[in-house]
Amino acid sequence: MPGSTPVFGFPYPDPSDLVANYPALGQQLAEDVEDEIIASGGLVLVASQSFTTVSSASINSCFTSAYLNYKIVLSSIVSAGNFDLKLRLRAAGTDDTGSNYLVERGVFAGAGISGVSATETSFVWLPVSTVAGFGYIDLNRVNLASTTFMNSFGGNNQVLFNISGYHNQSTAYDGFTFFVDSGTLTGTIRVYGYKD
């Protein structure tokens, strides 16, 4: 049977090989399919960084035209005190510090839910403390010269936050900075691109 499979292009086995080599051919086909399934996963790791007792952590050149949407995942984020963790977008190694970030934050603590909408000089994300926190941020169209949209969720065993917003500048950004106004941070950042 000439040709190959229509989706992944695996070659069809030659009929003369089927009897003598079927076990080997079957095993190879199964391994090829498994490799392709793994490689075609929905998220692709594009950058990661661990940091200890720093006031800020930046990752440059992680947003490219390869992906339209990105997910930033934070693990075991702790600080020496209670501070707001903030995020700024970067282009060519420089943070955008203008009042270009619109943020709405929902706080889920006990039975209450509260929200605030404000124009900020950063995405004001979530409070960090000596209790290890977690979170993720989805960014849409960050590498295009257009508005960037953000949605996030995070917290620790004391409080949970859902924060949404957008950055109103028509600029393509290739990186970001996490920081706190006071104190230091320890943790790990991973950046993933969403496959189309």
pLDDT, tens digit, 9 for 90 and up, residues 28-40: 666 676 666 556 6
**5-9, 65-69, 72-76 — which is least confidently predicted?**
5-9
pLDDT, tens digit, 9 for 90 and up, residues 155-184: 776 667 778 889 999 899 999 998 887 778
Other C-beta atoms closer than 10 Å to the C-beta of 152 total 23
pLDDT band (50, 70, 90) for residue 2:
low
Topology adopted by domain 43-194? Jelly Rolls (2.60.120)
Tell which residue, 102, 56, 98, 105, has the closest CA to residue 77. Answer: 56
Residue 110 pLDDT:
47
Contact assessment for residue 175 and residue 95, using Cβ atoms and an 8 Å cutoff: no
Q: Report the percent of the chain where pLDDT is more than 70.
A: 65
Tell which residue, 56, 38, 55, 58, has the closest CA to residue 47. Answer: 58
* pLDDT exceeds 50 at position 122: yes
Give me the residue spans of the domains in the chain: 1-40, 43-194
Residue 37 pLDDT:
59
Average the pLDDT over 106-122 and give the result. Answer: 62
CB under 8 Å to 87, separation ≥6 — which residues? 122, 123, 125, 137, 176, 177, 178
Quote the mean pLDDT of the chain.
Answer: 79
**C-alpha separations of 177 from 15, 121, 184, 196 in Å:** 58, 12, 14, 26
Q: Which residue has the higher pLDDT, 145 or 5?
A: 145
The dihedral through the CA atoms of 120, 94, 187, 39 has a sign that is positive
